[in-house]
Amino acid sequence: MIRLCEWSIFLTLIYMNSSDPVFLFSFFGWGMEDSSGIMLLIFDRASGHVPLKILSIEDGTVLKAFNHLLHRNKKVDFIEQFNEKLLVKQENENLQILDVRNSQLTEVSRAEFLTPSAFIFLYENQLFLTFRNRTVAVWNFRGELVTSFEDHLLWHPDCNTNNIYITSDQDLIISYCKALPLSSGAEENVGSINISNILTGKCLAKIRANDPNVQISPRNRPNASTIRSTVEEALEDITALFYDEERNEIYTGNWHGLVHVWSN
Task: Return the domain boundaries, the chain.
Answer: 1-111, 153-264
List C-alpha distances in Å: 114 to 77, 108, 151, 153: 10, 10, 20, 17
Domain 1-111 has CATH 2.40.10.480: yes
pLDDT at 57: 81
What is the C-alpha separation between 98 and 87, in angstroms, rounded?
Answer: 6
Instruction: Indicate the length of the chain as a whole number.
Output: 264
What is the C-alpha separation between 38 and 47, in angstroms, rounded?
Answer: 27
In this structure, how many other beta carbons lie within 10 angstroms of the beta carbon of residue 64?
14
pLDDT at 56: 85
What is the C-alpha separation between 100 and 56, in angstroms, rounded?
Answer: 14
pLDDT at 40: 82
What does pTM read for this prediction? 0.78
pLDDT at 175: 97
pLDDT means over runs of 10, the chain (264 residues): 32 42 43 62 86 85 89 90 90 94 92 93 92 94 94 87 94 91 59 96 93 79 72 92 96 92 90
